[in-house]
Amino acid sequence: MNNYKWNETGLPSEVEVETLKNSINVNRIIATLLCQHGVKDFDSAKNFFRPTIDQLHNPFLFKDMKKAVERIELAIDTNQKILVYGDYDVDGTTSVAIVFSFLSQFTTAIEYYIPDRYKEGYGVSKAGIDYASQNNFSLIISLDCGIRSEKLVEYSNSKGIDFIICDHHLPGETLPPALAILDAKVPGETYPFKELSGCGVGFKLIQALCIHKKLPDENYLQYLDLVAVSTCCDIVPIVDENRIIVKFGIEKLNQNPSLGLKVLKESCINKKELTTSDIVFYIGPRINAVGRLYDAKTAVKLLIVKDEDEAIDYTEILNSTNTERKGIDETITAQALEMISNDPAHPDRFTNVLFNPDWHKGVIGIVASRIIEHHYRPTIVLGFSDGKISGSARSIKGFDIHEALIECSDLLLQFGGHTHAAGLSLLPENLPLFIDKFDEIASKSLTRDMLQPVINYDLKIDAEEITPSLIKLLKQFEPFGPGNMTPIFYTENLKDSGFARQMGGGNIHLSLNIQNPNFETPIKGVAFKQGEKYESIKTGKSFEAIFSIQEEEFNGRTNVQFNIRDLR
């Protein structure tokens, strides 16, 4: 595994901390963390801790929203057929589920379409437009895709089919000739928040339709649990409007979820109160799995279901597919790691580029992330289908993998993505040239020092400062996610109370019971993938650690737990 460097993130000024501390009557730790989040006065603290649903932005601030609403109303009023088109991941399937469910209340002339990952690939496809044309659809609403589909929207227009694009990805140089584009990242767009998920954009469309129809707010707020799942799993910043969506969406998920999410939740996690992490690690992978291996329409069917028996059947498919996905993922990861260990040139390379024609296209993005956990370098994992090599790329801090692929574009058939992740395809004969060129590009912007991963922590604290009241206040920082990450602490002089043990297959993980005078019993600590440190810990030696503090629910009881990122 990687050997981490520890790094303290920048601390705010003592004056800022002291001012906020006195203004809202909190301790040094909480005031420092808030200042690090840009919360520096009473009003911003109130908005941070007590967001309200009426802080959602007006959806008509999208400059094309009025056109989109009027075109949908025309389709409903004249019984024109509407095709709701989405991607095959969590964001795409939840997007389709909420827009299809909402519009189905007003028209029966509506269907949804999810492209086949293997036959059609990502995003809007010619096959999808042909399906719409052959079945007399007049309007396509694309969700979580479409902003770079200039030629395909032109093709749709030539077939007499109007297009409304709801997307959140960066546009290309030329915008598609759609009737309406709802994407806050489009140059000149007037919508104030730029980081909605694809499902979040679909949610704003529903909100606008409700305002236009003068319907009660509950008509769009009922979908907040699905929008929260999308927002958490698509790794968009949990700030501004997303913070409101996730806060109230998780409340709905915990108290009154939609039927499909209720059955799925109960099948995979025994907790009353789910957090963003639970959504990302339990709910998201199961929704994603069917799209990775088979047909993502099964996920949509679960998310729109109204019959509990059907919900149970679809949930069983999602769970069994996810189990299958994990097995494939583990096998490919083991093969990829062995490939690296047998490559004598690997120590001199700045990148990992791994190819096996038998690797499953649906899981290689996950495998790329797993490889980085062991060999911290920009990583591309490739498989083979339909006469071409294709795969997924994942990056490390300080390296824009999408820019690197642009520099390699002469060797690629297709590519797309962003700074941290991308997809690509190329001809087999270009693979050796691509491996060398990609590594050469990386070597110019990366140093060997940058190939050592860093764990950043927010604040150094003493063990004596970890109190029940601190934990209660930290909980109010939720929901956590990018832009509002779980606070990470560094503490010295920790000791196990004598009950440390290894756990997991191959004793890979470490469980500890950490002494703390502020608690009646020792605090449980879990150090994933650090089982090899057991021999040192069990001797009773003090150690230092970087960790987050969380509450863990087990058998109906809630306990404090340290999630130890690294210790020494």
Same domain, 104 and 223: yes
Same domain, 63 and 159: yes
Same domain, 443 and 459: no
User: The CATH number of the domain where 353 resides is what?
Assistant: 3.10.310.30
Report if residue 559 sits inside a domain: yes
Alpha helices in 214-363 (DSSP H): 218-221, 224-233, 240-255, 259-268, 276-278, 284-293, 297-304, 308-341
- Rounded to an integer, what distance in angstroms lies between the CA atom of residue 216 and that of residue 219? 6
At which residue do the structure tokens 């832009």 appear? 483
Residue 444: pLDDT above 90?
A: yes
Model confidence band, residue 559 (pLDDT cutoffs 50, 70, 90) = confident
Tokens representing 113? Answer: 């379409």
Report if residue 326 sits inside a domain: no
Same domain, 429 and 365: yes
Range with the largest mean pLDDT of 35-49, 176-190, 265-279: 176-190
Q: Name residue 176's amino acid.
A: P
Same domain, 139 and 120: yes
Report if residue 529 sits inside a domain: yes
Tokens representing 164? Answer: 């409304």
Q: What pLDDT, on the 0 to 100 scale, is given for residue 417?
A: 75
Q: What is the DSSP string of 392-438?
A: EEE--TT--HHHHHHHTGGG-SEEEE-SSEEEEEE-GGGHHHHHHHH
Same domain, 63 and 190: yes
Same domain, 263 and 374: no
Which segment of 217-226, 283-292, 543-552 scores lowest on mean pLDDT? Answer: 543-552
Report if residue 544 sits inside a domain: yes
- Rounded to an integer, what distance in angstroms lies between the CA atom of residue 43 and that of residue 90? 35
Mean pLDDT of 432-436: 96
What is the residue-averaged pLDDT of the chain? Answer: 93
- Rounded to an integer, what distance in angstroms lies between the CA atom of residue 220 and that of residue 237? 22
Report if residue 335 sits inside a domain: no
The Cβ of residue 542 has, within 10 Å, a number of other Cβ atoms equal to 11
Bigger pLDDT: 377 or 516? Answer: 377
Same domain, 26 and 78: no
- What's the structural domain count of the chain? 4
Q: Name residue 544's amino acid.
A: E
H-run or E-run covering 215: none
Listed residues 450, 471, 487: the one ending a domain: 450
Q: What pLDDT, on the 0 to 100 scale, is given for residue 10?
A: 87
Tokens representing 16? Answer: 């800022």
479 upstream amide cis, omega within 30 of 0: yes
Same domain, 91 and 231: yes
Residue 552: pLDDT above 80?
A: no
Residue 318: pLDDT above 90?
A: yes
At which residue do the structure tokens 């999810």 appear? 114
- Rounded to an integer, what distance in angstroms lies between the CA atom of residue 103 and that of residue 422? 33
User: Which is nearest to 146 in space by CA: 120, 117, 177, 190?
Assistant: 177
CA distances (Å), origin 180, targets 115, 141, 165, 188, 489: 22, 10, 6, 14, 47
User: The CATH number of the domain where 550 resides is what?
Assistant: 2.40.50.460
Same domain, 99 and 152: yes
Report if residue 498 sits inside a domain: yes
Q: Name residue 157's amino acid.
A: N
Residue 506: pLDDT above 90?
A: no
CA distances (Å), origin 356, targets 118, 294, 359, 361, 480: 17, 20, 6, 10, 37
Q: pLDDT above 70 covers what percent of the chain?
A: 99
Mean pLDDT of 314-318: 97
pTM of the entire predicted model: 0.91
The Cβ of residue 239 has, within 10 Å, a number of other Cβ atoms equal to 17
Same domain, 479 and 422: no
- Rounded to an integer, what distance in angstroms lies between the CA atom of residue 239 and that of residue 30? 18
Model confidence band, residue 25 (pLDDT cutoffs 50, 70, 90) = very high
Could you list the residue range(s) of the whole structural domain that residue 439 is in? 343-450
Report if residue 53 sits inside a domain: no
Residue 238: pLDDT above 90?
A: yes
Angle between the 297-304 and 90-103 helix axes, to the nearest 10 degrees? 50
Same domain, 398 and 471: no
Report if residue 27 sits inside a domain: yes
Which segment of 137-146, 366-375, 460-469 scores lowest on mean pLDDT? Answer: 460-469
- Rounded to an integer, what distance in angstroms lies between the CA atom of residue 237 and that of residue 56? 15
Q: Is 545 helix (H, G, I), strand (E, B) or coil?
A: strand
Residue 1: pLDDT above 70?
A: no
Mean pLDDT of 160-179: 94
Residue 421: pLDDT above 90?
A: no
339-377 residue pLDDT tens: 999 999 899 999 999 999 999 988 999 999 999 999 999
| Cross-strand bridge partners of residue 423 | 392, 416
